[in-house]
Structure 1
Amino acid sequence: MISMAGKAIRKWWALFVLPTFVAFIIGFIVPFVYGVYLSFCKFTTVTDAKFVGFSNYAKAIKDPVFLHSLLFSTLLTIVTTIIINVIAFAVAYMLTKAIKGSNVFRSVFFLPNLIGGIILGYIWLLLLNGVLAHWSKSLTFDAKYGFWGLVILVCWQQIGYMMIIYIAGMQSLPTDVLEAASVDGANSRQTMFRVIIPLMMPSITVCSFLTVTNGFKLYDQNLALTAGNPMKMSEGLALNITNTFYARTGFEGVGQAKAVLFFILVAVVALLQNKLTTSKEVAA
């Protein structure tokens, strides 16, 4: 039987949902739609927008700095996604074993995720510049230093978070399947690649989705660590869009067009990644 509370919720659910729905419309849908419209306009404020068609998109696509930022963010996302997920999976696998002090290790690995991106950026700026100083170099001396500096920073920050997701997935693995594999004579390598990883695909899907989207959306760490130097060669997509919108007078529309292209790119990549990993999931 349905309780009185359940009946009330079924009857008045729209009333409970309405405040959140209205807030979502006002805070997300309306700005998003208006932002798409502004990407077709030339403006300095939202009140003086003049429709200019696809000229903003043409300028954005022809901007060599924007194209370089696209390449930079793509490479950064690929590298960090692989490193983060491989190391997080390995650490999670080790910490689900009967290791003394495993809870302490979990906390230590997770702590970097609690630190803000700007603070992390400045911390690693001091550390990495201190190391590079022995060769009379700095993170802004060459774009490759900035790239690998960002890789180290992002991996250090996100590995612990993904580790927690993988640990939750491993703890929910069906023990009877693992025992059956052991009885059938499967060695550790076969158990890992034929049993554990296929059953862990839901967790891998989530972690891959998060690392891919985080890689493309990276902003505060990029700003604090390199600020795009030297010569905007270590500037990611999010930082490039912000600099176009705020640092170049008269390019607000171009910056908005870049933001729309950025949204489409991240959405398409995330959907393809999610479809690819979801298709490999198996029923436990």
Structure 2
Amino acid sequence: MASGNKKKLKRGLDFWMFVGPVFLVFAVIVLVPFFNGVMYSFTDWNGITGELNWIGFDNYVRLFTSDEQFQQSFWLTTRYTIVAVVLTNLVGFILAFLLTQNIRTRNFLRTIFFMPNLIGGLILGFIWQFIYVKGFSSIGELTGWSLFELPWLGDARTGFWGIVIVSIWQGGGYIMVIYIAALQNVPQELVEAAKIDGANRLSTLRNITIPLIMPSVTICLFLTISWSFKLFDTNLSLTNGGPFKSTEMLALNIYKESFTNNNLGLGSAKAVIFFVIVAAITVTQVYLTKKREVEA
């Protein structure tokens, strides 16, 4: 009996020796700021002075009644997320499908397509800002093509698509790598059996390949949804929400409310609402896609 208790105690100590330091760091960096943010969302703190007053749900009421910019940023972020998630996964899957074929330069091309993911969002935004403003203008003058003469960062509609293009260019390669790993693990005997039964490529892809790579689809959708909703650095460096806040995503709106307008209480309320929405969407997405997963 005593020996069994000693073993349990030893296992518990071993567990906390490994998990304890990580949990402590996680609590200090994530949990404590999170609960502080929830608390501040019920105050009028400006983030600078030590004086803060408890105002209850006033910040939350303001968000849904009089804060039009928050509502505009929310719908813009939702529209951007839908477009970016679909196109990023589509581009990533097409690249993965092509680069799992018998192509000589496939390893080189995989590296090239993955490389944009290694560039930080701020630097990426400044690079593409130069491309949109200077590069496209020069190409438009040389070719006369109206596509390159559009005000890519000076108009709400083209600014939106400018951000989408940069996001796909950066994230498509990362998603491609996940899909490549999934496609390489599809049992080839099933594909060969489908060909023998007379199935064409499209039918094989739809009925065999895609159902077998659904775990990767779950991961890729989860990643792209969270990336899209939390887009900040690229938005900041590429358009800074302009022109006239027409491309101001939700994360940038929260940042400006908290640290530019010095209204940390209202900014924290926005962040709490943001967290609840993203958590609800991602949990729902994971639940729905997990149900469609099959085993080979």
TM-score, normalised to structure 2, is 0.89
Q: CA deviation at 1:47?
A: 4.0
Q: CA deviation at 1:195?
A: 0.5
Q: Answer whether contact 1:76 1:151 (CA < 8 A) is retained.
A: yes
Deviates more, 1:113-122 or 1:179-188: 179-188
Q: CA deviation at 1:181?
A: 1.1
Cα offsets for 1:138-175 (capped at 9, x unmatched): 33421111100001000000000000000000111112
* Gap regions ≥5 residues in structure 1: 1-6
Aligned residue in 2 for 1:210: 223
Cα offsets for 1:94-113 (capped at 9, x unmatched): 11111011000000000000
Q: CA deviation at 1:8?
A: 7.1
Fraction of identical pairs, as percent: 42
The CA distance in 2 between the partners of 1:99 and 1:137, in whole Å, is 37
Q: CA deviation at 1:25?
A: 1.6
- The one-letter code sitting in structure 1 at the alignment partner of 2:62 is K
Aligned residue in 1 for 2:74: 70
- The one-letter code sitting in structure 1 at the alignment partner of 2:31 is I
Partner residue of 2:194 out of 176, 181, 188? 181
Deviates more, 1:152-161 or 1:128-137: 128-137
Q: Answer whether contact 2:133 2:153 (CA < 8 A) is retained.
A: no
Q: Answer whether contact 1:60 1:258 (CA < 8 A) is retained.
A: yes
Partner residue of 2:266 out of 254, 262, 267? 254
- The one-letter code sitting in structure 2 at the alignment partner of 1:277 is T
Q: Answer whether contact 1:132 1:138 (CA < 8 A) is retained.
A: no
The CA distance in 1 between the partners of 2:180 and 2:11, in whole Å, is 35
The CA distance in 2 between the partners of 1:27 and 1:248, in whole Å, is 25
* 2:29 maps to 1:27: yes
SS in 1 for 2:287: helix
* 2:180 maps to 1:155: no
Q: CA deviation at 1:137?
A: 5.1
The CA distance in 1 between the partners of 2:85 and 2:111, in whole Å, is 22
Partner residue of 2:205 out of 192, 195, 212? 192
The CA distance in 1 between the partners of 2:242 and 2:12, in whole Å, is 56
Counterparts of 1:29-44 in structure 2, within 5 Å, are 29-44=31-46
Q: Answer whether contact 2:186 2:212 (CA < 8 A) is retained.
A: yes
- Give the CA RMSD over aligned residues: 1.8
Q: CA deviation at 1:48?
A: 2.6
SS in 1 for 2:199: coil
The CA distance in 2 between the partners of 1:11 and 1:228, in whole Å, is 50
* Gap regions ≥5 residues in structure 2: 1-8, 141-145
The CA distance in 1 between the partners of 2:190 and 2:12, in whole Å, is 40
